[in-house]
Structure 1
Amino acid sequence: MDSSSILSSKRILSIDILRGLVMIIMALDHTRDFFHLEAMTGDPLDPTTTTGMLFFTRWITHFCAPTFVFLSGLSAYLSAQTKTPSEVSMFLLKRGAWLIFVEIVIVSLGLTFNPFYNFIILQVIWAIGWSMILLALVIKISKKAVFIIGLIIVSCHNVFNLFPPPDSEGFNFMLKVLFTSFGTVLPLPNNHLIGFFYAILPWTGIMFIGYAIGSWYSKSYAAEKRKRNLIIAGLCSIFLFFILRFINLYGDPVPRKEYNDLFKNILSFFNVSKYPPSLLYTSMTVGLAMLFLAFTERINNWFSRIVSIYGAVPFFYYIIHFYLLHSILVIAFFASGFTTEQIVQIPFWFRPNNFGFNLPIVYLIWILVVTVLYLPCKWFKNYKETHSQWWLKYV
């Protein structure tokens, strides 16, 4: 398959492969949250308490959110090729608002199974929604402005970690929501809570960079030049990660710790902040994503075709995998001897702190869920390709 046929098709296979791969791996992290015995009581990334397998199980999923956000920006650029600037901005505004609604109403319910919405959880879909709204505004300035602003945000937002938080409670809250948040919980009346777990702007920076790189996938852009650019950008990004991590002065809210143990030092070196996504975290994950895109553009085999099914319908997969996982959790909850008096938990109903299984069982549940979702995803991909209803643009 040559470059022209790759880019003239409705979808770019390498993008769907990468997105499908991260969607599959993402489900592992959510399966661990629901089913691992220590998920509610321990930190899988703490070098002093974790195991190699547990650390890897959590760490490998670090690549999912930034890659997904990066590809959302890239895909936004590709979809804009057949629209006027005004049409692009309006679509991004509407899709961004829709995603914020989805996070609050649909995803939070799938995560918690709490029909009273006592705890609304704002995560990656929330951040993507706001990022699309901001992208809709910035592209009216210029495409170059999108790249420059994205690069500045990703490179410089960790400056806030070098200074004490502001005295103003309101300003400090906005700073957390926009830049530094991890687990910022806002109490509401009548025993309701909103948890801000994804600071918006660091993710916006990642999306903006993805949008800027989308120009490399224009039909007139030479395939070899695109591959070279992706390799150079990916290697520079990963090189930046190693340099800054060795220097250990900037790029992450928490400097790496030194232990009298080689294995713990290795874990500490790669344990960088996802909440919010630090410069080091973004360099490590997005850098590898760009290398993956560079070397998979011409891959087309049975494995890539299976994985790309999930990548072609990421929103559909993302929503239903939560409901499937939580439905299995309900079954496991009662099968494990828990009673109706123990259903109500924060943040997840049917998920007591003393519930769960070991890692091999978690992996088995993960494989089961991904396998079960293959045929529904394949059906919906075919449906989207053979139908043109307006609402399909939003799912």
Structure 2
Amino acid sequence: MLNKASPMTSSPATSYIASVDLMRGLVIVLMALDHVRGFFTEADFSATDLSRTDWALFLTRWITHLCAPTFVFLAGTSAFLSAARGMDRRQLASRLFTRGLWLVILEVTVVRFSWYFNLDYSQMSLQVIWALGWSMVVLSALSYLPLWAIASVGAVMIFGHNLLDGLDGIWLEEFQTAEGRLEWQGWLLSVLHIPHYPVIYPLIPWIGVMAAGYAFGPVMQWPLTARRKTALGCGILLIAAFVILRVYNGYGDPAPWSRQDTILFTLLSFVNTTKYPPSLLYLLMTLGLMFILLSAFEQAYGAQRAIGRFFITFGRVPLFFYLLHLYVIHGLALIIAYGMSGDIYSSSSQFPSWWGFGLPIVYLIWIGVVMLLYPVCTWFSAVKSRHKGRPWTPYI
């Protein structure tokens, strides 16, 4: 018997919800800022290292923390809404499984090459597309469960995975050879929870975020006012939980905050949570902000304004933008480096020590990249609309 809250028994006429694409568009543009910063900044240290950074560089990095949790959460929500538009459970599971594997393939081929511009597979970073892909594969199996069970899986992974923090180092050391190589048990732990090269995005927390997003799907079928208030309530609740847990420096993040020389830097320390893997506090902070923004974007006029339509354009083709913008940013960095030095660099890893620019130039390059790709994304969005329902459209 189908669960009453499953998409297969929900309203079959779920209409297009512009706020989801608007939210996706905003974070994909912010992600471009983070990648431009990574390729063009003059800072040779972590932007969140409070002993070396300044407030502007910190916040430039911090605001982009919103990106990955939003992508993964809304991918789960979009999966539910897709099913609610007439897809049965088997079709949904098949779509999630094949699209997830496709994303993993893209990560280790097209995405990897965009970062390194070489075929040396000793250089590899398994990041957000990898996590999205495998989370979809897992969700393809979870989708056969009742909605309450999927929500429970998501909650346990999000709220419980930091219980492993104290054991991670012990386990990883136990499963390393004398030469420092990981045995298969160590690789499995790395894939699931412990960041270790090349796995930058361990899967357990991200699977939980996607499952939570799927469980949130029915809310997005409610009338506009109801879902706007619910999203706002969820955002306030998550932010409040973040503040309470963070104040006491107890459970939820392996890196406690501390008093700094100034009030501003103390506040920066307070919000400087752990991304790899995403801690409970990191997810409460970022998903709380996502819910608040989503509530604001639910206003009837939001998608009708020019700025709303601008971000929606990117939100309709996020994977296309993601794949393209990495090549544009990396290629632009090599071109500018050649123009400044006359030397040809095969990738950014070969840039000289003098390479890099201050934040004003970084922001100008970011705006230039986004504006350059806007007409391309507008064109591709129109292509997808004309070919809606074709087998290839969900995969790019």
CA distance in 2, matches of 1:236, 1:57: 25
Aligned ranges for residues 134-213 of structure 1 at < 5 Å? 134-163=138-167, 164-166=169-171, 167-169=174-176, 170=183, 171-181=185-195, 184-185=196-197, 195-213=198-216
8 A contact 2:117–2:346 mirrored in 1: no
CA offsets per residue over residues 49-92 of structure 1, 9 Å max, x none? 11111111111111111111111111111111211111111111
In the other structure, the counterpart of 2:3 is: none
Amino acid at match of 1:77: F
Which ranges of structure 2 fall in alignment gaps of 5 or more residues?
1-11, 177-182
In the other structure, the counterpart of 1:318 is: 322
In the other structure, the counterpart of 1:238 is: 239
Secondary structure of 1:119's aligned partner: coil
Alignment counterpart, residue 35 of structure 1, candidates 18, 21, 40: 40
CA RMSD of aligned residues (A): 1.7
CA offsets per residue over residues 133-183 of structure 1, 9 Å max, x none? 0000111122221111001100010111133522233434322321131xx
Secondary structure of 2:125's aligned partner: strand
Residues 325 and 124 (structure 1), Cα distance of their counterparts in 2 relative to 1, 3 Å cut: same
Alignment counterpart, residue 17 of structure 2, candidates 6, 12, 16: 12
Q: Does 2:276 match 1:275?
A: yes
CA distance in 2, matches of 1:95, 1:373: 24
In the other structure, the counterpart of 1:115 is: 119
8 A contact 1:165–1:172 mirrored in 2: no
Secondary structure of 1:120's aligned partner: coil
8 A contact 1:330–1:350 mirrored in 2: no
8 A contact 1:147–1:212 mirrored in 2: yes
Amino acid at match of 1:392: T
Q: Does 2:80 match 1:77?
A: yes
The TM-score normalised by the length of structure 2 is 0.89
8 A contact 2:22–2:315 mirrored in 1: yes
CA distance in 2, matches of 1:354, 1:338: 14
8 A contact 2:14–2:81 mirrored in 1: no
CA distance in 2, matches of 1:73, 1:353: 42
Secondary structure of 1:122's aligned partner: coil
Query: How big is the shift at 1:8?
Result: 6.0
Residues 392 and 249 (structure 1), Cα distance of their counterparts in 2 relative to 1, 3 Å cut: same
Alignment counterpart, residue 28 of structure 2, candidates 5, 23, 30: 23
In the other structure, the counterpart of 1:247 is: 248
In the other structure, the counterpart of 2:339 is: 335
In the other structure, the counterpart of 2:128 is: 124
Query: How big is the shift at 1:352?
Result: 4.0
CA distance in 2, matches of 1:281, 1:63: 9
CA distance in 1, matches of 2:279, 2:128: 15
Secondary structure of 1:196's aligned partner: coil
Q: How many residues get paired?
A: 370
In the other structure, the counterpart of 2:383 is: 383
Amino acid at match of 1:272: T
Identity %: 38
Amino acid at match of 1:215: P
Which segment is superposed worse, 115-124 or 263-272? 115-124
8 A contact 1:147–1:208 mirrored in 2: yes
Which ranges of structure 1 fall in alignment gaps of 5 or more residues?
1-6, 186-194
The TM-score normalised by the length of structure 1 is 0.90
CA distance in 2, matches of 1:224, 1:12: 13
